[in-house]
Structure 1
Amino acid sequence: MNFFNKDDVLNAFHYRASTRSYDGDKKIPAEDFQYILELGRLSPSSVGSEPWRFLVLQNADLREKLKPYCWGIPTMETASHIVAILAKKNARYDSAYFDTVIARRGLTGEAKEKALAVYQKFQEQDIAILDSERSLFDWASKQTYIALANMMTGAALIGVDSCPIEGFDYKEVNRILVEADLFDPAEWGVSVMCTFGYRNKDIRPKSRQDLADIVQFVE
């Protein structure tokens, strides 16, 4: 297997910046965008739950409806691709959804029961997320951000720009997408969105804390 040179990866991280102005005439090739989506699919998640779905919003009318409820209004028009990442609302250890998680691992019988017991303890006691529907949804949403980061980083490695978006009216965006019959609101909710495309102007170099200020080695 061939691996990336460290300098190439670091250069991609320095190059990647939140892009708020795209070249509306330049589209990401289908093969490249499939690669970006595959990075999301292959991302890790807590207990292998994969509590996500990726809505690629290419419909112009739908984008127009979303614009009034999103901060980055111009990018809704010019981004090559817009992805709304959904998070599972009821990914409990004892749900039908978790049955699919277990099935993907090929676990049956006693092995399945042992795995479910581990997941039950994890959700009830270790991370304690079963107190409310919101805490369970927030846990699932945390997993989507792993996929989001991998998609943006992988995009930068091939010269594709991106911008993560939390600046939108969640209630209205969910409403619009549900009315478009894109998901069941009892099962899914919008966690985060992201635009992808090609910048049409220079972006100011990013500002970050010094490594020494944020890292502590405990030996």
Structure 2
Amino acid sequence: MKDIVEIADVQSQILEAFSFRHATKLFDETRKIPEAEFDTILEAGRLSPTSFGAEQWQLLMIQTREKRELFRDFAWGANGMMHGTTGQLGSASHFGLFLARTSETMKAGSDYLARHMREVKKFPDEVANGFEAVLRKFQEEDFGLTSDRLLTEWSARQAYIALGNMMTAAALMGIDSCPIEGFDVKQTQATLQEHFGIDPKEFYPAVMVAFGYRAGAPAYPQTRRDLDEVVAWA
């Protein structure tokens, strides 16, 4: 068990990391994240929790300049349009796209979930069958996930948990990041299908993310509402 001094040190490191982190718009193109450090960031995502442990997302890392440029015209949040730069697409050391699974694989009783319970979770048949029944009730009654859109949004929420954990892990190592929602979904889906072989019936582009090292100091200081404005106690 950690003693009080160690706990205080961890607390300090956590708060320093969150104060350090900002939505980096332009990265230093000359600096690349070491492989071992980025593997740690990826592991932080892989080990993140998901609803029912169903792992409702995939992460596509896009590293070649040619592949990134395929998104340039419609990923306005990553192309520097608002800042007069090459943006994250051109400057990030690592650039990724979280793909949320749709009802094709996430609806209770799907082949994917049955295989996941058997091969990944290692559930015996009787446990897997009980799990399916609980998941079906959750989707159809408790949370009302009765359409493809709602199931896809449920999957995307799981991806955001991993996204947050990856950005925090990066910040703890002094690595910058930026989550990006500024893109045209339909054009992104078409590009993913044509150039990456990703079926839009199975995957939906949830959010982009860039990692690297900032090219300069943040343009604006970090601002947030006070704690007593965002937290209520009952």
* Fold-level similarity (TM above 0.5): yes
- The match for 1:8 is 13
Distance across 1 between alignment mates of 2:109 and 2:24: 41
| Residue pairs, 1:132-211, within 5 angstroms | 132-203=147-218, 204-211=220-227
Deviation at 1:154, TM superposition (A): 0.4
Deviation at 1:68, TM superposition (A): 1.1
- State whether residues 102 and 112 of structure 1, in contact with CA within 8 Å, keep that contact through their aligned partners in structure 2: yes
CA deviation profile, 1:88-128 (whole Å, cap 9, x unmatched): 01201110111133122222232222111111111110111
Q: Secondary structure at the match of 1:162?
A: strand
Structure 1 alignment gaps of length 5 or more: none
| Residue pairs, 1:1-219, within 5 angstroms | 5-71=10-76, 72-73=78-79, 74=86, 75-90=88-103, 91-103=106-118, 104-130=120-146, 132-203=147-218, 204-218=220-234
Deviation at 1:205, TM superposition (A): 2.1
Deviation at 1:5, TM superposition (A): 1.2
CA deviation profile, 1:138-194 (whole Å, cap 9, x unmatched): 110111000000000000000110000000111111211211134222211211000
Distance across 2 between alignment mates of 1:27 and 1:112: 43
Distance across 2 between alignment mates of 1:181 and 1:20: 26
Instruction: Name whichever of 53-62 and 109-118 sits farther off.
Output: 109-118
Moved over 4 A (4+): 1-4
Q: Which amino acid aligns with 1:84?
A: L
Note the aligned Cα RMSD (angstroms).
1.4
Q: Which amino acid aligns with 1:126?
A: D
Instruction: Name whichever of 103-112 and 76-85 sits farther off.
Output: 103-112
TM-score by length of 1: 0.95
Distance across 2 between alignment mates of 1:182 and 1:24: 29
- State whether residues 114 and 128 of structure 2, in contact with CA within 8 Å, keep that contact through their aligned partners in structure 1: no
- Identity across the alignment (%): 40
TM-score by length of 2: 0.89
